[in-house]
Amino acid sequence: MWAAVTFAFFALRLAAGDPISSLLSQGLASREQAEALRTSLGLDSPLPVQYLRFLGGLTRGELGRSLYTQRSVAATIAGQAGPTLRLALAGLVVAAVVGLALGIAAGTSGTTLLGQAASSLAGFATSIPAALTCVLVLWAATTLARGSPVLLPLTRSESLLLPALALGIASSGALARVIQSGLEDNSRAPYLLAARARGVRPGPRLIWHALRPVLPLAISFLALEAGLLLGGTVVTETVFARPGLGRLLVSSILIGDYPVVQGLVLLAAVVYTLTHVAADTLSAVVDPRLRPST
């Protein structure tokens, strides 16, 4: 985490230019006035000094203030966290449901038409870029809604359905692949032969048998994907005109509002760590082999 914020601190200053220039982008200030603003914001001290000041703030639990609004970074981020969390969770549900369905269809129906179709769909979902998914989903929904106005509310930016679909579809493809390959590897496993020999007919029960050992992998994949979904909201939020951390991140980088970007990077580092822990814990719950022996 320390590495992440340190990297963010220096990389931003190298990559995004002088924040004073961005602050004064409406162009009226004189040179003297620009320097006065730099001094009053504490941006005139050497970079290492600014860095130490930033670390000192962190140890006191302070993330600093936005250069643009003087609002605390914590308050700025907190105001945008709720919508992103809701969107990421909804996207995760879409990814889980669609991914599971496609994965089972592809993994158990083999070379039948259904299996082939599911497999291709999963491949398509993984390969299409997020920005395109968003616009396609929005366009398709708007076209449908023009025919049947009942659907109109779904296309509004307040509705969570379309953004969640757009966000979840990309992850669902990858999840489907994980499940498909797991199921195919398992199909010749001795315990499944044994189950069949015991008289379990091909069908839901047999699928459940085959799926059990695949689930831990799928769950850790999804948990890790949860972290990535938070990143995926950058595009989704912009296209669907929704508030959230993704929008906040992009705009803060573009205008050089460094304290806010640093806060977001720190938050991302925390979230990734937590999702890894969650992935391990969940896998252990589902798979007895991973539980510590007592």
Partner 1 sequence: MKTWSLCALLLIGLVGAACTPDHDAPTTLNYGLTLAPTGIDPHLNASAELGIPLTSVYDTLVVQDPATGEILPSLAERWEVSPDGRTYTFHLRDGVLFHDGTTFDAGDVAANLDFVFDPDHHSQKAIFMLGPFERAEVIDARTVALHLSEPFPPLLDSLSQVYLGMASPEALAAWGPAEYQFHQVGTGPYRFVEYVPNDHLTLESNPDYSWAPQIYQREGPYYDRIVFRFYEDPATRALALENGEVDVLGEIPPREADRLDALPEFTLFPVAIPGQPMEFLFNTALPPTNDPEVRRALIEAVDRKTIVDTVFGEHSSVAEGPLSRNMWGYADDVSFPAYDPESAQRRLEQAGWVLGADGRRSRDGVPLSLTVVTPNWGNHPEVSQLLAAAWEAVGAEVEIETAPGFGLLKEASDRGDYSLIGINFFGTDPDLLRPMFTSSGLYNWMNVSDPALDGVLSQAATTAASQSDRQALYADAARAIRDQALILPIRDYVDLVVADNRAGGLAFSYQGWFPLLHDLHPGP
Burial class from Cβ neighbours inside 10 Å (0-12, 13-18, 19+) for residue 214 reads buried
Beta carbon of residue 27, minimum distance to partner 1 (angstroms, whole number)? 5
Q: Which is nearer to partner 1, 82 or 110 (CB)?
A: 82
Interface contacts to partner 1, rule CB under 8 A: 16-19, 21-31, 33-34, 36-37, 40-41, 65-72, 76, 79-80, 83, 135, 138-139, 142, 145-146, 152, 155-157, 237-244, 247-248, 251-257
* Backbone torsions φ then ψ of 65, nearest 5 degrees: -125, 150
Least distance CB 15 / partner 1 (angstroms): 8
Q: Which is nearer to partner 1, 118 or 249 (CB)?
A: 249
Residue 110 or 129: which CB sits closer to partner 1?
Answer: 129
Task: Give the residue with the Cβ less far from partner 1, 177 or 242.
Answer: 242
Minimum Å gap between C-beta 226 and partner 1 is: 22
The C-alpha atoms of residue 287 and residue 265 are separated, in whole angstroms, by 33
CB nearer partner 1, residue 24 or residue 224: 24
Give me the least distance between CB of 121 and partner 1, in Å please.
Answer: 25
Cα–Cα separations (whole angstroms), residue 40 to 13, 33, 133, 201, 246: 18, 11, 45, 76, 29
Residue whose C-alpha is closest to residue 225's, from 287, 162, 282, 186: 282
Cα distances (Å, whole numbers) of residue 198 to 144, 187, 205, 207, 209: 50, 16, 12, 15, 13
